[in-house]
């Protein structure tokens, strides 16, 4: 694989990635004012890297969801990011009721919700085709989809870390279908467990290929594996900071110029490493979040809420210009 050459001289790879970032998006660093809502931790799957599943065994009521959306709107959020475990009986109507609850509070707020795994779960429980599920969700106000549940898009690795999760081709199929229906998505990759560089590169090139075909990805988010409180953490202790830098740099180079936005997730990386990422290819720092349950359960100590001023300050302290964006990367300030 000739892409492996990028690993031979990491500092040259960092330099090229930084240059391509500047060429693609300039010196601004974007962030989104959003709120995470994880509506349940009850889940029928047993992914080995998951520290979130069945911890508290909660399911938010629609009233609680409305309350959280109201708080988000009051804070000035432009987006709610809604994901949860695979609640056993969750069918299409279950997911539609969440969208309705959000829309009762705000017609305007961008709803970024339901991973491809949740969409497949809804389609199985409702005995409906994925395309019809997506159409109904879109009609009910779904604006975009998180490209989570991708983990590593390699079935051999998936069988070992999340055997019940959707396969690579199912993930790709749902993402492409969403793009075709005019529902954009993000793309993610969870690395730093049992995969090797060849899997990471294969994953990134697959994302590139999809983007070439559909143009529906808004950003790429490399997510380091968090190893605490989960089964996989017994054999894999996560990536090093240097590895994190290299994954971001390689992602920038391999996705250039098709995907312009590479996110450094402050909640997973911690603030200082997220700042360093801005010099090896990243141009976005993620969102305010307001609450974060998934990484926290897996040992993240970065906190779960950065206020707008704090996000701006962390970007400024890294020597860059903060710009508020919406989910689709329109600049708002
Ligand atoms: S990662 Fe998601 S699908 Fe897997 S066990 Fe955790 S909540 Fe369930």
* CB distance 45 to ligand 1 below 6 Å: yes
- Give pLDDT, residue 11: 97
Question: Residue 292's pLDDT band (boundaries 50, 70, 90)?
Answer: confident
Q: Is the pLDDT of residue 61 over 80?
A: yes
Calculate what percentage of the chain has a pLDDT beyond 90.
93
- The chain-wide mean pLDDT, for the chain, equals 96
- The mean pLDDT of 202-224, rounded to a whole number, is 98
CA of 295 to the centre of ligand 1 (A): 12
Q: Is the pLDDT of residue 309 over 90?
A: yes
* CB distance 43 to ligand 1 below 6 Å: yes
Q: How far apart are CA 47 and CA 241, in angstroms?
A: 24
Q: Is the pLDDT of residue 192 over 80?
A: yes
Question: Residue 297's pLDDT band (boundaries 50, 70, 90)?
Answer: confident
Q: Are strands 284-287 and 110-113 parallel, antiparallel or unpaired?
A: unpaired
Q: Is the pLDDT of residue 293 over 80?
A: no
- Give pLDDT, residue 332: 97
Ligand 1 pocket test target in 52, 87, 225 with most atoms within 8 Å of CB? 52
Round the CA-based radius of gyration of the chain to a whole number and report it: 19
Closest ligand 1 atom to residue 44 Cα is 8
* CB distance 117 to ligand 1 below 6 Å: yes
* CB distance 46 to ligand 1 below 6 Å: yes
Q: Is the pLDDT of residue 1 over 90?
A: no
- Give pLDDT, residue 4: 80
Domains of the chain plus CATH, in order, are: 2-325 (3.20.20.70)
Q: Is the pLDDT of residue 10 over 90?
A: yes
């Amino acid at each position: 694989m000739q892409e492996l050459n990028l690993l031979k001289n990491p500092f040259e790879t960092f330099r090229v990635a930084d240059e391509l970032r500047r060429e693609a998006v300039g010196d601004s660093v974007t962030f989104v004012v959003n709120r995470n809502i994880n509506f349940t931790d009850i889940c029928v799957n047993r992914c080995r890297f998951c520290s979130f599943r069945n911890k508290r065994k909660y399911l938010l009521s629609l009233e609680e969801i409305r309350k959280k959306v109201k708080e988000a709107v009051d804070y000035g959020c432009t987006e709610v990011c809604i994901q949860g475990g695979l609640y056993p009986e969750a069918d299409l109507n279950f997911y539609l009721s969440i969208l309705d609850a959000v829309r009762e509070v705000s017609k305007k707020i961008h709803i970024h919700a339901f991973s491809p795994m949740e969409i497949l779960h809804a389609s199985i429980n409702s005995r409906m085709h994925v395309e019809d599920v997506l159409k109904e969700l879109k009609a009910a106000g779904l604006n975009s989809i998180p490209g989570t549940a991708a983990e590593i898009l390699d079935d051999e690795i998936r069988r070992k870390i999340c055997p019940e999760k959707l396969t690579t081709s199912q993930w790709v199929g749902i993402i492409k279908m969403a793009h075709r229906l005019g529902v954009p998505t993000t793309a993610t990759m969870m690395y730093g467990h049992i995969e090797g560089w060849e899997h990471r590169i294969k994953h990134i090139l697959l994302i590139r290929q999809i983007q070439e075909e559909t143009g529906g990805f808004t950003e790429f988010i490399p997510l380091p594996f968090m190893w605490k409180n989960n089964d996989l953490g017994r054999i894999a202790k996560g990536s090093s900071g240097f590895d994190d830098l290299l994954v971001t740099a390689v992602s920038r180079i391999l996705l250039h110029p098709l995907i312009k936005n590479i996110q450094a997730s402050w909640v997973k990386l911690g603030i200082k490493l997220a700042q360093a990422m801005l010099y090896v290819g990243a141009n976005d720092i993620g969102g305010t979040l307001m609450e974060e349950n998934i990484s926290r359960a897996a040992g993240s100590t970065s906190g779960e809420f950065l206020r707008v001023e704090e996000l701006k300050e962390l970007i400024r302290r890294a020597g860059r210009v903060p710009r508020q964006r919406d989910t689709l990367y329109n600049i708002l300030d």
